[in-house]
Chain A
């Protein structure tokens, strides 16, 4: 069975500081990994994905994520947080040969002015 863990329910960071939202996963075989963001009363928006290739992937709104196979992690990062980044972030996993996404429980990011 595949699973995704987001160990932090909430992350608070000051505006302008770097942010990290953590994600670890468990799957047989090679993973496809994703980050989605959900703003209040809005649907999920795709941020970035790791399929293969470079371990550092860049996505929308200045976000990036680093795939670490040995640590089975896919942490989301941004060098300088904006207040507008405050939202709910979901890490998701798709196992090879599967099509459904398995999501983490989400991490609420609050960027403090």
Chain B
């Protein structure tokens, strides 16, 4: 596609429910990143995928968070047993490869609200 797409654009869920957020990277981009943008906290790195290598999960805030990337393309970020502090905008980005990580192209984000 022309850019990184994310779905849904908005998600409201009740505390304790699981949610799945989807990211479609730019076609041909092998590197994919998830970030979280919280009010007053800036952007926080969550997880990084590069090709078929094991992902770097060092930014995931708890074991309730997980992500997978199927077929080296689409990625899903899953948050289990959501908490109110999980409310944020979740941004996905992709780059051609890890060596060009400075050219990260961002999607519009998914705004998650946990009530």
Contacts and interface: CB of A to CB of B under 8 A. Distances in A.
Interface of A: 32, 34, 36, 41-46, 49, 51, 90, 92, 94, 98-106
Nearest to A99: B101
Nearest to A50: B102
Interface in B63-115: 91, 93, 98, 101-109
A101 B42 contact: no
A106 B42 contact: yes
B9 to A, nearest CB: 9
Contact of B4 (A42, A43, A104): A43
B41 interface: yes
Nearest to B46: A100
Chain A to chain B: the 6 pairs with minimum beta-carbon distance, closest first: A105-B42, A99-B101, A103-B43, A44-B106, A43-B108, A43-B106
B1 interface: no
21 contacts: A32-B102, A34-B102, A43-B4, A43-B91, A43-B108, A44-B106, A45-B106, A46-B104, A46-B105, A49-B102, A90-B43, A99-B31, A99-B48, A99-B98, A100-B33, A100-B48, A103-B42, A103-B43, A103-B44, A105-B40, A105-B41
